[in-house]
Amino acid sequence: MDEQQSFDASIIVPTYNSENTIVRLLKSINLYCNNLKVELILVDDGSTDNTCYIERNFTFNKNIVSKIIKLSHSGVSTARNIGIENANGKYLVFFDSDDALSSEFQSLFSNSNTERFNAQVVSFSTQVPQNHNNKVFKGKDIKYLALTMVYGKYKEFVPDEYEMSASNKLYLRSFILKYNIKFDPNLSCWEDLFFNMKILNKVETILVKQGDIFIYYQDNNNSVTHNATNSIINDAKYVYKKSMFIFNDNLMFTKYEAAYFISRIVGGYLALNPNTKVYKNLIETIPLDKRSFKYADTIHHKFILWGLKHLGLFITVSIYRTLKALKKKG
């Protein structure tokens, strides 16, 4: 067995001042990888706290080989790319330091899960309908999956059936290396989205599964998702312009669909992280008229667009948060 095939998966985790969350992730890897051969690559991006000390002194199960790579605050995309370059596993998996694995991860590698062995990408989402669960998609269906990530419902595919996050997927390493697919270091936001755009432009087989392989906590205050800036909008525009190679002539967006593309990936984020400058930039970017609402695929997105136009940022944020809290309790 050669080095590349000696690990079932390489788990790549960028860290930065993660001392308060990293132990939870490492414990979950021990718990849910106990029957797997796993390579854990921890890419520390210039931490000034005890993150590296914790990682060096953590006791891993014998089937887990860990390595720490130190960088000088180069950003999450560069950290992940360094992880890819140093990985040897059959599959690549990307997690953030404030995530945790779920039991779904280990079950994916059971001998009964034969669909996995023919897929270049294994994608998890709680939005996957039952009739698509454990199904391998090929050809133009992959284009339709791409549209659920950025546009919502398309044909028989439901919104977010293929999510923009890189953390709920397994990528066949040989496929990533063949096409030299990397995260874009020019992006401080939406790097996962653009990475998956490039994946969807080359991939031939995707296994779609219902559920999650990780638990999302988002309690590391050093994360980019806690720091709303105008780069959110600018990076969304950049991703839109760069990602048009994904769509053929029949699937090209109109200018209103393009505006919705930006509003969809920014709107929910903005409602959780209100920032007046970003809000003004968003309003200038999106034509908030009746035609815009046509492209909103859910009541959730229709409300964001309507609220931004008629109620303003902070009232919209307040109502949005209240509704999300009520839904979570329900």
pLDDT of residue 201: 82
CB 47 within 8 A of CB 11: no
State how far the alpha carbon of 50 is from the alpha carbons of 15, 18, 53, in Å.
11, 8, 5
Q: How far apart are CA 32 and CA 47, in angstroms?
A: 27
Per-residue pLDDT tens for 225-283? 444 466 777 787 788 777 665 554 444 455 555 666 666 666 656 655 666 666 666 66
pLDDT of residue 115: 57
Question: Which residue in 58, 201, 71, 67 sits closest to 140, CA to CA?
Answer: 201
pLDDT of residue 244: 63
CB 281 within 8 A of CB 230: yes
- ∠ Cα 75 81 86 (to 5°): 125
Give me the amino acid identity at 4.
Q
Per-residue pLDDT tens for 207-228? 999 888 888 766 555 543 444 4
Radius of gyration of the chain (CA): 20
Cβ partners under 8 Å of residue 15, min gap 6: 22, 42, 43, 44, 45, 47, 51, 55, 97
Per-residue pLDDT tens for 4-41? 458 999 999 999 999 999 999 999 999 999 888 999 99
